[in-house]
């Protein structure tokens, strides 16, 4: 019953976090974003534009 009376903004707010927790959360989001971007670049549609340097120099 306690959660029913709470407003959604008071359940989780970035302003109520400890500074260390906010920094760790920001670093985690950054790492997940970089990982997602690199997977998309490697295997997604932009991968068709990538060249294989080993294939270019085979005899």
pLDDT, tens digit (0-9, with 9 covering 90-100), for 14-42: 778 888 988 999 999 999 999 999 999 88
Ramachandran angles phi, psi of 43, nearest 5°? -120, -10
Structure confidence at residue 38 (pLDDT): 93
Structure confidence at residue 27 (pLDDT): 96
**Rounded alpha-carbon distances, angstroms, from residue 58 to 11, 44, 48, 52:** 60, 26, 20, 11
Ramachandran angles phi, psi of 6, nearest 5°? -85, 145
Tokens of 39: 């997977």
pLDDT, tens digit (0-9, with 9 covering 90-100), for 46-59: 888 878 778 777 65
Structure confidence at residue 59 (pLDDT): 58
Distance CA 47, CA 37 (A): 12
Residue with the bigger pLDDT between 48 and 1: it is 48
């Amino acid at each position: 019953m306690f959660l029913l009376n709470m407003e959604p903004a008071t359940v989780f707010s970035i302003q109520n976090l400890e500074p260390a927790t906010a920094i760790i959360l920001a670093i985690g989001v950054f790492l997940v974003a970089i990982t997602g971007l690199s997977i998309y670049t490697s295997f997604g549609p932009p991968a068709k534009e990538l060249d294989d340097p080993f294939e270019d120099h085979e005899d």
